[in-house]
Amino acid sequence: MKLFTNLPGNLRVLFGALRFLVVCFALFWFLNLTFNSWIEQRFMDEPQLIVAVGAVSWGVVPDAIKLQSDSAKPGAIRLNNLCGSLQMNLLSKDTAMVSALRWTMYPSMVVSITFAWLLFTSLRSVCANVERGEVFDEKNLRLVRGIGLILIVYSLSSAAVGLWAHHVMGGYLTQHVVLTGLAVPGGTGGLQFIEPSGPFLFPGFGGLITGCLVLMLSEAFRQGLQLKAENDLTV
């Protein structure tokens, strides 16, 4: 397959493109949050910048919403809770909401953009080195170790950001938001913030395990570097 003829070169181009997309994404949001917001607030009566905040769920009073099946007995299938995605207006005049929204969105965006850029830059550099024939050398060893550490730190950071977002947005929803039109336990409250939305690359334990695997790979690189050093200038 032509794809595998020059795999390092093709991957270098791919990671370069992904890095460029991360920069475009960051630029898009920077412009959206600055100029677009300024234009909306200056020229529009009701400025709007609707953003996806994350997923919410709420418990359902038993039998408030019934599920019927033509094959199972009544009561065999029950709806426990409902989930949905939450959207908010970032340019709302409600300062409490906007503050909660900013404290939820901005940390996750900064973490995602920073680590994505670092990761794709490192991957691109590794592919460029391998394409030049420089596989087992100090530069590549440092890059591969760096990639492993980036993945581990990113996964821990995104978990921390998720907890923080859960605390901030969950607090706002609990204090200021009521749900109407649906029978939920505990009256009209009970809206829970599950997780923030965002371009998380490797959410959860995936990033942690992948990072550990990459660190193990860097150990293989280190031993390869030792073997290469022994074999250099051996005729």
Q: Could you give the string, one character per residue 172-211, with x where binding to another protein holds by CB under 8 A and - elsewhere?
A: ----------------------------------------
Q: Of the two residues 67 and 229, which places its CB atom closer to another protein in the complex?
A: 229
Applying CB under 8 A, the site for another protein has a residue count of 5
SS3 per residue for 11-22: HHHHHHHHHHHH
H runs (alpha helix) in 46-137: 95-131
133 binds another protein, rule: CB under 8 A: no
Name the minimum Å distance from CB 141 to another protein.
21
Among 8, 3, 12, 2, residue whose Cα is nearest residue 130:
8
For the record, the structure tokens of 207 come out as: 């990033």
In this chain, which stretch among 13-21, 94-102, 212-220, 226-234 interacts with another protein, using CB under 8 A? 226-234
Torsions phi, psi of 55, nearest 5? -100, 140
Name the minimum Å distance from CB 8 to another protein.
24
235 binds another protein, rule: CB under 8 A: yes
In this chain, which stretch among 25-33, 59-67, 164-172, 227-235 interacts with another protein, using CB under 8 A? 227-235
Name the minimum Å distance from CB 230 to another protein.
8
Radius of gyration of the chain (CA): 24
Please, which residues have CB within 8 angstroms of residue 66's CB and are 6 or more apart in sequence? none
Q: Of the two residues 70 and 230, which places its CB atom closer to another protein in the complex?
A: 230
232 binds another protein, rule: CB under 8 A: yes
Token match 């397959």: residue?
A: 1
Residue type, 53: V
Q: Of the two residues 95 and 234, which places its CB atom closer to another protein in the complex?
A: 234
Q: Of the two residues 76 and 233, which places its CB atom closer to another protein in the complex?
A: 233
Compute the distance between CA of residue 158 and CA of residue 201 in angstroms, rounded to an integer.
Answer: 10
Please, which residues have CB within 8 angstroms of residue 77's CB and are 6 or more apart in sequence? 67, 69
Q: Could you give the string, one character per residue 39-68, with x where binding to another protein holds by CB under 8 A and - elsewhere?
A: ------------------------------
Q: Tell me how far the alpha carbon of residue 38 is from its chain's centroid.
A: 27
Name the minimum Å distance from CB 220 to another protein.
23
Among 118, 213, 203, 197, residue whose Cα is nearest residue 157:
203
Q: Of the two residues 15 and 136, which places its CB atom closer to another protein in the complex?
A: 136
Contact by Cβ (8 Å): 116, 29: no
Q: Which residues bind another protein (CB under 8 A)?
A: 230, 232-235
